[in-house]
């Protein structure tokens, strides 16, 4: 048996996995199964569930690996998905697709006697526009005669509550709920949804809510525990109803959850950059064709668009085979959502993520967006003038932030007329000149080309200094 090499690294998100420890290699993922979980894992593999999920494109393929990891009698292997975005970097449509994936997997698992026991959003990785469930340890045997779903409450807190707040126009709150180290509580959501509950104090409401959720899982509670908690007559009645399947409100209500997730319509205005988003401005133009040609000349295999709007350029680079991998990021969630929806509809391969590359949102665990999204080339078109003039970000900070996402090349536009929209613009400061930006670009990069693409668009191409 081949032994794992020294380049193997444990996954930063493999923190509480009772099945085993996850390790990452360049193109593969290894799961070192704990000795006590071997029998359970082998039974799962024999069930055919993992093969069915992989065949349906819902989970990466799983096989027993010929790579050995010390301390583990069984090592599983999966293909490594190339780009990992975290839930707080998803758009509304991405979170909705992830929720639908969880419900579909749980139904398929139920048919084979299993269920998802842990369904939080960090168990999902998007392969282009398609979500995939990557935590094998979440699949657990469903107890005989059990009704409902053990992870139903977690589904509500991880998906349904953020989506409801988001649909009401609360994108800011919803995305930050996705970044939190704990999920939104039932009581907190109830107080958001029904503000009048605050009038009489929350203690009684919270007690009633806890009792309701305990009751919803009653069909899974052993008879002995029910008899310990309830008077004899009440316990006998509950146990009898439970065994006959007559105990109300014990099903998971998967169909209802699915309808609620998929049919919910979002409301509210866009964010700060919404006024700059539009599909027509990023259609096929001589400017775009020239940028595609210059990226082709650089010979890069992967590219990330920073402030990439709806990802038309990145999608075109993929369509023409200029690059093998492309990521479109933008600080405006609605633009990313449209890029995700279009890519899914067209069966494309574009990766999308909500990202402010100057002030990125991060979490206390996991890897930084730079480490996860860095590509051979970083492209930043039609954004530097907003950062320099509107947000007053220093030019060195702008260029170094772009450079952080590139391994080799950068393609950066400068707008000499500033915020000019083709008809009018505020006057630009005296220091804001093409020569000033050129000097700053040359300090950060090794320039290899520059040209004027349009009246207010001057493109700089450079390599990272080694």
Query: Cβ neighbours of residue 120 under 8 Å, at least 6 residues apart?
Result: 154, 158, 183
> What DSSP string describes 9-44?
EE-TT-SS-SSEEEEE-SSEEEEEE-GGGHHHHHHH
CA gap 179, 111 in Å, rounded: 33
Beta bridge partners of 228: none
Please tell me the least confidently modeled range out of 25-29, 129-133, 281-285.
281-285
Q: Which of 69-73, 290-294, 381-385 has the lowest mean pLDDT?
A: 69-73
Question: Which pair of tokens denotes residue 10?
Answer: 């444990």
DSSP 365: S
∠ CA 193-199-201 to the nearest 5 degrees? 95
The encoded tokens of residue 244 equal: 């006959």
For the chain, the average pLDDT equals 90
Q: How far is Cα of residue 461 from the mean position of the Cα atoms in its chain?
A: 30
Is the Cβ–Cβ distance between 121 and 393 less than 8 Å?
no
Three-state secondary-structure class, residue 425? coil
How far apart are alpha carbons 103 and 159 in whole angstroms?
Answer: 11
Per-residue pLDDT for 220 more than 90?
no
Mean local confidence (pLDDT), 96-115: 96
- Whole-number Å distance between alpha carbons of 5 and 438: 45
pTM of the model: 0.91
The percentage of residues in the chain with a pLDDT greater than 70, rounded to a whole number, is 94
Contacts of 294 by beta carbon, 8 Å cutoff, 6+ apart: 411, 449, 459, 461
pLDDT band, residue 221 (cuts 50/70/90)? confident
Name the residue ranges covered by the structural domains of the chain.
8-79, 87-184+217-263, 274-464
Which of 178-187, 215-224, 266-275, 359-368 has the weakest average pLDDT?
Answer: 266-275
**β-strands 375-380, 406-414 pairing:** parallel
Which residues in 107-121 are b (16+ Cβ under 10 Å) and which e? bbbbebebbbbbbbb
Specify whether the CB–CB gap between 310 and 335 falls below 8 A: yes
pLDDT for residue 101: 97
Tell me 453's DSSP state. Answer: E
Q: Say if residue 125's pLDDT is above 80.
A: yes
CATH code, residues 274-464: 3.40.50.150
Report the CATH fold assignment for 8-79. Phosphorylase Kinase; domain 1 (3.30.200)
pLDDT tens per residue, range 426-451: 899 999 999 999 999 999 999 999 99
Specify the pairing of strand 139-141 against strand 124-127.
unpaired
What tokens appear for 455 in the block? 């009246």
pLDDT of residue 2: 55
Rounded CA separation 433/281 (Å) = 25
The residues facing 379 across adjacent strands are 305, 411
Beta strands in 100-190 (DSSP E): 114-116, 124-127, 130-133, 139-141
For residues 249 and 318, which has the higher predicted lDDT (pLDDT)?
Answer: 318
pLDDT tens for 323-358 read 999 999 999 999 999 999 999 999 999 999 999 999
Please, which residues have CB within 8 angstroms of residue 297's CB and are 6 or more apart in sequence?
none
| Average pLDDT for 153-172 | 94
pLDDT band at 279 (very low <50, low <70, confident <90, very high): very low
Q: Which pair of structure tokens corresponds to residue 263? A: 């049919």
What is the model's pLDDT at position 281? 46
Residue 4 has pLDDT above 80, yes or no: no
Mean pLDDT of 408-436: 92
Q: What architecture is domain 87-184+217-263?
A: Orthogonal Bundle (1.10)
For 61-80, b/e burial (b = at least 16 CB within 10 A) is ebeebebebeebebbbbbeb
DSSP 8-state symbol, 110: H
pLDDT tens digit string along 447-458? 999 999 999 999
DSSP code of 198? G
* One-character DSSP codes across 185-225: PHHHHHHHH-GGGGGG-SHHHHHHHHHHHHHHTGGGS-HHH
Examine the pLDDT at 47 and tell me if it is beyond 70: yes
The whole-number pLDDT of residue 210 equals: 84
Look at 205 and 159; give whichever has higher pLDDT. 159
What is the 8-class DSSP label of residue 283? Answer: S
Q: CA of 268: how far to CAs of 160, 170, 184, in Å?
A: 18, 8, 21
Residue 443, H or E segment: helix 434-444
């Amino acid at each position: 048996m081949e032994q794992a090499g020294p380049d193997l690294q444990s996954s930063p998100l493999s923190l509480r996995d009772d099945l085993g420890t996850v390790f990452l290699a360049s193109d593969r993922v290894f799961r070192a199964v704990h000795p006590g979980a071997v029998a359970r894992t082998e039974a799962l593999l024999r069930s055919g569930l993992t093969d069915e999920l992989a065949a349906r494109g819902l989970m990466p393929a799983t096989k027993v690996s010929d790579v050995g990891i010390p301390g583990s009698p069984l090592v599983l292997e999966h293909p490594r998905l190339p780009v990992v975005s975290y839930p707080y970097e998803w758009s509304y449509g991405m979170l909705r697709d992830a929720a639908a994936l969880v419900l579909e997997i749980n139904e398929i698992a139920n048919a084979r006697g299993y269920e998802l026991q842990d369904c939080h959003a960090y168990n999902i990785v998007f392969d282009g526009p398609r979500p995939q469930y990557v935590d094998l340890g979440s699949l657990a045997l469903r107890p005989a005669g059990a009704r409902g779903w053990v992870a139903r409450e977690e589904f509500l807190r991880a998906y349904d509550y953020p989506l409801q707040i988001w649909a009401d126009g609360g994108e800011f709150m919803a995305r930050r709920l996705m970044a939190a180290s704990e999920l939104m509580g039932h009581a907190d959501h109830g107080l958001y949804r029904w503000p009048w509950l605050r009038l009489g104090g929350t203690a009684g409401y919270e007690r009633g809510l806890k009792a309701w959720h305990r009751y919803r899982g009653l069909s899974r509670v052993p008879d002995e525990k029910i008899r310990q908690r309830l008077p004899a007559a009440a316990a006998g009645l509950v146990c009898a109803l439970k065994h006959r399947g007559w105990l109300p409100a014990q099903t998971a209500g998967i169909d209802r959850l699915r309808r609620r997730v998929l049919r919910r319509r979002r409301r509210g205005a866009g964010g700060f950059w919404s006024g700059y988003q539009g599909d027509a401005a990023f259609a096929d133009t001589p400017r775009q064709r020239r940028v595609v040609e210059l990226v082709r000349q650089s010979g890069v295999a992967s590219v990330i668009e920073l402030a990439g709007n709806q990802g038309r350029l990145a999608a075109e680079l993929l369509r023409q085979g200029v690059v093998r991998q492309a990521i479109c990021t933008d600080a405006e969630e609605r633009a990313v959502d449209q890029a995700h929806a279009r890519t899914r509809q067209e069966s494309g391969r574009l990766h999308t993520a909500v990202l402010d590359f100057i002030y990125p949102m991060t979490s206390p665990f996991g890897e930084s967006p730079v480490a996860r999204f860095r590509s051979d080339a970083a492209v930043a078109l039609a954004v530097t003038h907003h950062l320099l003039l509107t947000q007053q970000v220093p030019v060195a900070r702008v260029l170094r932030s772009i450079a952080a996402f590139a391994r080799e090349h950068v393609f950066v536009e400068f707008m000499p007329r500033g915020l000019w929209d083709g008809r009018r613009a505020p006057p630009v400061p005296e220091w804001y000149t093409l020569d000033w930006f050129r000097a700053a670009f040359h300090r950060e990069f090794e320039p290899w080309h520059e040209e004027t693409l349009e009246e207010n668009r001057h493109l700089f191409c450079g390599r990272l200094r080694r």
